[in-house]
Amino acid sequence: MLGNWQFSTIAGYRTGNHYSVLGGTDASATGIKQDRADIVGDPNSGTCPNGWTVGSVGCAFNTSAFIANPAGTFGTSGRNIITGPGFLTLNAGISRQFKVREGQSLMLRFEAFNVLNHPNFANPNNSCCPFSEIQRVSHGPRA
């Protein structure tokens, strides 16, 4: 009863999705409202106006590094220059097969999903000005 148990894990990690910082208006007058914001600083360093450090839940990127693009322009920030939060999940299982009779067995299996029990955050609001904090998770706990 105490021997022959099997332990299994599935770990998954991926870096965050890349996204662009948008100006929030149609300053270029193209009708699609996908103008990028103007970049005026380093979006990956410093702190946000709310006091959080860059890379934390309260400050995904340095919001002071962007301003709304002026009328008649498309914005100076590049495409997909910001990387969102990463995704990490760990699932585990333990099982044992019991022989019932010749050619037949019964498997007892226990599984646990999201063993680390932590959220995986979605990208923040990327429309300039103002920006928002990360306020939602990307998937439910079993995804």
Residue of 137, 133, 139 whose CA lies nearest to 60: 133
pLDDT, block means (10 residues), the chain with 143 residues: 87 90 79 82 85 82 84 86 88 94 93 89 73 64 52
Tell me the CB-side half-sphere exposure of residue 52, using CA atoms within 13 A: 15
Query: Which residue's entry shows tokens 């007058």?
Result: 29
CB proximity list for 127: less than 8 A, separation 6 or greater? 22, 23, 24
pLDDT in tens, 50-80: 888 888 878 888 888 888 888 888 888 888 8
- Coil, strand or helix at 51: coil
Tokens standing for 20? Answer: 């662009």
Report pTM: 0.68
